[in-house]
Amino acid sequence: MNKVPKDIRELVSRLDKSTGSKPPTLCVVANSWNHYLKAGLMAVKRRWATLRIICDETVMKPYLDQGMIPDRDVSVHHVSDSNAQLALLRDWCVEKEVDVLLPGDLSQGQLYHLLSNPYHRQSLEDGASRACLVSVPGYPRIFAIVGPVNPENPLFNQMVLHMKNGYHLAAGLGVERPKIALLSALDRVGIDDLHTYNCKCLVSQNQLEQIPGMDLEGPMSFDTAIDPATVEYLGWKGPVAGQADILIVDNQQTRSILALTLKIFGKAQTARVGLGGRIPLAYLLEDATDVDVENTLAAAINLAPYMRKADPLDWLTEPDPIDYAW
């Protein structure tokens, strides 16, 4: 198992130093010259990965004719119909021919369909999570904020799915027993707050080993989850407090605000990945800096070998470590 990285830039360094092994394969659906395609080509130039491009030939032909897409380590697959593009990509994911997906020109609905697992028994988007890996200067460990893709507060079963995805993220980074905090505004159960009741219920199941393989605490405020000084001041006794690897939030607004606050005021390095499918997704903003692109690609590529081995969606033949709910 790989050594647990202390910061995101360490993941970038690992790729720069990687030699002798077969490079992973990235895939992007590019019906335009978009920022995901440029990110994939950057990974090829850095010798981090090979790239498969699914595209409409008429749209991409000018770029091919101008030599903007290299021949080495890049394969171009001309498929015009969007459903056929999705079917080809899904086949590659199932057959483990690609390791990381760059969403490119796929719509959110197409991504949900690609990620969906029939055994979730949930709507398509509820099986997917977005995670923001964070490393803050001076803080001794990397951690991740994991939450839903859709804006609605998750129900109990949906929280379990985000815990599953967070578990696999931490395990993919080399954490043997992830410490997972279920975040809330306060460190207590609220009288009319269903989310905090769900947190406490999940923690009790973890204590009874119905959810094995991790340490779980909640409801827990952000400072109690990651700040040892707060834990000492409060006299909190628990396996997660002050040293959480994964922070589970109940909506996408909280995840985004928390991540951006840490990035702007804490000068944090961040990487955004999508979880819940057979392969990790690398999420990039259109105005992402070169460092942001490096961080996100490095995080997704470093997760890929674990995801290939763990195969977290094939629960009928290889049960998930925390598959108690089904």
Mean pLDDT value of segment 70-82: 87
Q: What is the rounded distance in angstroms from the CA atom of residue 183 to the CA atom of residue 310? A: 27
Query: CA 69 to CA 63: how far, in whole Å?
Result: 7
Residue 137 lies inside a defined structural domain of this protein: yes
Q: Given the structure tokens 């029939």, which residue do they identify? A: 118
For position 124, what pLDDT does the model report?
43
pLDDT of residue 251: 76
Residue 237 domain-assigned? no
* pLDDT (mean) for 21-38: 88
Q: Which two tokens stand for residue 58?
A: 């008429």
Q: Which residue has the higher pLDDT, 244 or 110?
A: 244
Grouping H, G, I as helix, E, B as strand and the rest as coil, residue 105 is: coil
Short-list 139, 142, 114, CA closest to 5: 142
pLDDT in tens, 144-192: 988 876 655 556 667 777 888 888 899 999 998 999 999 888 788 877 7
pLDDT category of residue 135 using cuts at 50, 70 and 90: very high
Q: Is residue 102 in a domain?
A: yes
Which residue type sits at 205?
Answer: Q
Evaluate whether 313 touches 134 at the Cβ level (below 8 Å). Answer: no
> CATH number, domain at 19?
3.40.718.10
- CA–CA distance, 16 with 133 (Å, rounded to integer): 19
User: Residue 151 falls within a domain, yes or no?
Assistant: yes
pLDDT band at 292 (very low <50, low <70, confident <90, very high): very high
Higher pLDDT, 269 or 2: 269
229 belongs to a structural domain: no
> What's residue 19's pLDDT?
58
From edge to edge, which strands make up the β-sheet containing 143-148? 74-78, 50-55, 25-29, 100-102, 281-282, 269-275, 129-135, 143-148, 246-248, 179-183, 215-220
Residue among 144, 178, 116 at smallest CA distance from 258 = 144
In the chain, the largest separation of any two C-alpha atoms, in whole Å, equals: 66
pLDDT at 314 over 80: no
pTM of the full predicted structure? 0.86
**Domain count within the chain:** 1
pLDDT of residue 283: 92
Label residue 319 by pLDDT band (50, 70, 90): very low
- Whether pLDDT at 122 is above 50: no
Integer-rounded Cα radius of gyration of the chain: 20
Residue with tokens 């005021």: 265
Answer yes or no: is pLDDT of 80 > 80.
yes
Q: Is residue 220 part of a domain?
A: no
Give 32-54 pLDDT, tens digit per residue: 888 999 999 999 999 999 999 99
Mean pLDDT of 305-311: 77
Q: What is the pLDDT of residues 250-264, one digit of tens each?
A: 877 788 888 888 888
- The pLDDT, as a whole number, for residue 150 is 62
pLDDT for 317 equals 36
d(CA 265, CA 134): 13
Query: Mean of the per-residue pLDDT values for the chain?
Result: 82
- pLDDT tens-place string over residues 179-216: 999 988 878 887 777 788 888 888 888 888 878 888 99
Q: Is the pLDDT of residue 115 over 70?
A: no
Local confidence band at 302 (pLDDT 50, 70, 90 cut-offs)? very high
pLDDT exceeds 90 at position 23? no
- Identify whether 224 is part of a domain: no
Residue 255 lies in a domain: yes
Q: Tell me the residue range of the domain where 15 lies.
A: 8-178+245-310
| pLDDT band per the 50, 70, 90 thresholds, residue 59 | confident
| pLDDT score at 55 | 87
CA distance 282 to 289: 14
